[in-house]
Amino acid sequence: MGRPAQARVVGLIAGQGTGDINQTATRFAVHATDLGVMWRDSRGRVAMAFGDTYGVGWGGQGAGPETADWRFNTLAHSVDPTLSDGLRIDSMITDRPGHAAQILAGDPSVPEVTVIPTAAISSRDRDYIHYMSVREWGTGGQWTTNYAGLAVSTDGGKTWTKPSTARWPNQGVGSGFQLGAMARHDGHVYLFGTPNGRLGDARVARVTETAVGRLTAYRYWTGTTWEDEAAIDNAAPVMNGPVGELSVQYNTVTRQWVALYLDEHRAAIVLRTAPRPTGPWTTGQVVADGTQHPGLYGAFLHPDSANSSVLHFAMSRWDPYHVRLMALPLT
């Protein structure tokens, strides 16, 4: 694959700013939000899970204040097949008319500041969100989690449960799966994991696509083979860090695996490719630079990009704290 072009802004997905085609503030009380993890859900729609979301009283720059109708996370759906003119949100999960609901509840048993979606996938009639329970925010691309887990919905995303049996504790190499990226290929779902924060290496596990919710069924790549959960401490890095907020797909056009993530040291979204999920992965090539997009982070691939020569992805900006649709042609 040749050197990629620079990603361009297509339009705003959620929050406020130029080209606000979705009017999320007036339609869903979403004045500001971030992330936008995307997947093809169990009902055939494109689902988008957002992070910390604010309504009336939002401060106008970055997250907060907490009094501004704060929700840990929200969920939107789209059936828009044409992304060249933006991604249109058709609906959001609401708890009352015109108000996007918090979908993943907090955990009162641990010190916790928020619950953030990091990846998602569907399997048959179920949807799964990989989330992190954030214990404490830090600085310089660092924070501390309590654990990561899988939330499950059997009703198209209206309600979610967080089974205590589906968690990766933030200890040992299990700490290497605190943030995730999930991709389906040839009967398996691959889970790429990174430690809490944006500075660690990425590892990979896989599971048959009918057993996504059962952690005992996951097999971890040790550098030479796939081994069961007893070998999680031997899971080998497949991408060297700093890897932040990773998103991965197998692209059927290039017949390559593609990965997008934030390189905190370069303040840039980078692209890497590989012939297999285990690598070898290319070095990261900058496709969106913080000098052009100040405060950028998150680069979550649209599911239709898997069958396209143009990657569309959601990218956040801290100031003013919104999510944009980006387009990146592959050469």
Strands laid side by side in the 8-14 sheet: 8-14, 322-329, 310-317, 296-301
What's the pLDDT at 131?
98
Please name each of the domains of the chain with its CATH number: 8-329 (2.115.10.20)
Contacts with 164 (C-beta within 8 Å, 6 or more apart), sequence order:
none
Measured CA to CA, the distance from residue 167 to residue 152 in angstroms comes to: 12
Identity of the amino acid at 289: D
210-255 confidence digits (pLDDT tens): 999 999 999 999 999 999 987 788 899 999 999 999 999 999 999 9
pLDDT on residue 2: 52
pLDDT in tens, 9-38: 999 999 999 899 999 999 999 999 999 999
Interatomic CA distance for residues 72 and 76, integer angstroms: 14
- Cα–Cα distance for residue pair 134/13, rounded to 1 Å: 25
Cα gap 146→177, rounded to integer Å:
12
Residue 229: what pLDDT? 81
What DSSP character marks residue 89? -
Give mean pLDDT in consecutive 10-residue pieces for the chain, a chain of 331 residues: 78 95 98 98 98 97 97 98 96 98 98 98 97 97 97 98 96 89 97 97 97 96 91 90 98 97 98 98 96 97 97 97 97 77
Q: What is the pLDDT of residue 4?
A: 62
Alpha-carbon distance of 194 to 173, in angstroms, equals 10
The pLDDT value given to residue 174: 79
